[in-house]
Structure 1
């Protein structure tokens, strides 16, 4: 195992620092080229090596500039679309967001983290860092489901990757009655955690869809019939479990007074709201989020950016 570990580290150094090709490394280590390929893959899997492109490359292009002008956001990062694979294209967006995010975090910051597959994937692949005096704050209560991506997992995983503190919200997202919800929010520990949710100045989130296979439906937060009725009335996107229409205006759901988590008004007041929009199916929701004033920074792909600009008004 010691010899294997040495070879993995040496191969990574020779390839990424010394610029040797795989054939040259194979000769140096007296192994096959296939072994070198495996060593390099293992080095990346173990986070010995992390390859990141300069975020400025994706900020300083025409699509990013046009998005800033059209929607009045502070900055946009637009990655190339992988036309051969939707999943790989979405992964590019998530990867770019995870690389960009640490640039906005300073000592003393509290970063509010939403839920969902996009945010959980970002947390999983975020760079391993040690951020001085940064706290990750869970923005909404817990809603267990078979599909995973619970809010507490998103926050805790990102905190672990960033070497940051974590402030979880130890409450369910949805309560059975409004009275129980208010009583629980008044509990000292929950009240303190909700105060941190209100006070954090930076957030990262995704805007979900309202279709029958959306995260809000799959988790059972809203049943499909209610969601369909709201969609018929203009429901377009979901931010932290809250519904918005095509202009980003709140559309209170029947469960609104039974939910524990950040409100849309609080989301709009943040100093930074980074929206990670992976997939052209998220374009209407992303557009609504920007029109509603919840977004200061956007990460998306070129195909989505083109559609956002096409639909902008």
Structure 2
């Protein structure tokens, strides 16, 4: 047994959270899954408590999932964890880095600044400017700034006409406030998830869509399959994830007629794709990585 007390920040009962907690318990004898909805931050003392556990007394925490859905509230939870990090508790990954990816605009702006190829994208509050982007793209996807698994995304086509698209845009704006309009990319029925651990390449899997959805997410019926990535493609994924400093992540890549493009870098990465698509227990590997970092004092 390794004498370390490491908690998992996640969703109690969810497979990815629990399997990581299982591996940590097997190595350390300590198990703690933290639901951020029940964490209390004492601003006068700087202490964070989860039920009867003082998080400041732990050796580290692994942030597997900050909430069921991305929202500005997730940013608030990360700010609380920054207080924990400031007290000397190691966080994997660092809350500040995770926070850069919770908001879609901040994450993709960092990728664009890093010279990573992305689908053409326009961000605006102007309905007229958003309509112009749809006309220029021909077909576009309207994306909420806070969402995962394609939830809340709307496909818009120029041929549907200005009046139809204007109404869809106004409905979207009433809920989300800002237009993030991205040119529709033909995925050819699949996209890729490229997994990195501690900045090093681990594996690549494909998400293959069913016949009923424009996107490939498992949430919409997609299936995982193995994929052998080329060295050039791996280098693209490495470049994308290097825009951030994450202990574990997945880079979403699409292969288009004009070459590969990156959709996003995941704030947390997924264990299921690595397991079902590549036969790799990424939770075990992340656990080993964290323990090595803590043992080495890094």
Same fold (TM over 0.5): no
| Greater C-alpha Rg | 1
TM-score by length of 1: 0.27
TM-score by length of 2: 0.28
Q: Which has the higher helix share?
A: 1
